[in-house]
Amino acid sequence: MKTVLLVDDDPATIEAWTLCMQGEDCQVLCAFDGNGALSILGEQLVDIVVSDWMMPGLGGALLCQTMKNTAKLAHIPFLMISGHPNPPAFVSYDGYLRKPVETETLLAAINRLCAAKKRPLY
């Protein structure tokens, strides 16, 4: 079973993403901003983080940078999702999808990134 952390400031988006993962052998955790995601990651390891880019407070780009610069989190695949036409080039995310995202596309990206996941260094 994969543990997926969904991060988005829009509750409807979180609900839609959660629904599409039902029946896909996924445990789903949710956060509404990057700070909430980091709090969850401090307590529980996940297999992948799926995050919106633009959120108030700590957005997806800074969340990704923080994770990639933290030894215990750097191995976790990060899938950035945004309605913005140009993904942030300065962020080392592992995958990028543009909203709106079809269910099959989202699930395929999650499965691909989890299959390619690096082992933690610790």
* pLDDT tens digits, one per residue of 68-113: 999 999 999 999 998 887 776 767 899 999 988 999 999 999 999 9
In a domain, 62, yes or no: yes
Write out the residue range of the structural domain in which residue 19 sits: 2-115
**Is residue 34 a part of any domain in this protein?**
yes
Is residue 38 helix, strand or coil?
helix
Cβ-based neighbours of 93, under 8 Å, separated by 6 or more: 64, 78, 79, 80, 87
Whole-angstrom Cα distance, residue 57 to residue 2?
27
CATH number at residue 92: 3.40.50.2300
pLDDT tens digits, 37-75: 999 999 998 999 999 998 998 999 999 999 999 999 999
Question: pTM higher than 0.85 for the full model?
Answer: yes
